[in-house]
Amino acid sequence: MRKNNVPERSVRRTRRGFSLIEVMVAAVVLGFTVAVVGALYPTGARLREKSGNVSRAAALLARKMEQIRQYKYDQLNYATLFNARVIDEDPDGNTSNCHFTQADNLAAQLPEPHGELDISHLEPDLARIDIRITWGGWVTIGNQVSATTYIADKDVKVVP
């Protein structure tokens, strides 16, 4: 019993609020949650940027492929593609390597981009075109999209 003749048990029931232990546990849980969310934010930002870059690169790749498919088999050479501004000028004068980084202004859409076009004449009437776009950025693993298309000489007649 207390001085006022009020039992100690009833005094405890009338107190309101949290104990120090409850407040400390809540603070630890809140701190842990904030730390986890804070750690995940940079990863999410990097993945969002990579996803956007992959989407832009895939669209650029599809556009370049359709641009190349407009040419006939006998037009698939350095001079024709350079004069049509499909590929960049090679500073070394090497006409076997075709790049299109500046021709398509890739730098405006991707970080540290590089576009490359390889034309292989497999047979006298068949060409294989490999198109690759690579880029840099925060995440550097897997920053490449590529596609292959074939263009045949339509004027070739098959003799049965």
Domain spans of the chain?
8-152
pLDDT, tens digit (0-9, with 9 covering 90-100), for 85-98 = 999 988 776 767 78
pLDDT, tens digit (0-9, with 9 covering 90-100), for 33-79 = 999 988 888 888 888 888 899 999 999 999 999 999 999 888 888 88
- Indicate the pTM of the whole model: 0.71
- In degrees to the nearest 10, what's the CA dihedral of 19, 21, 27, 30? -100
Residue 131: DSSP 8-state: E
| CB neighbourhood size of 145 (10 A) | 20
Task: Indicate left, alpha or beta for 117 from its phi (over 0: left) and psi (-120 to 50: alpha).
Answer: beta
Asked if residues 70 and 136 have their Cβ atoms less than 8 Å apart, the reply is no
Per the listing, tokens 């641009």 go with 67
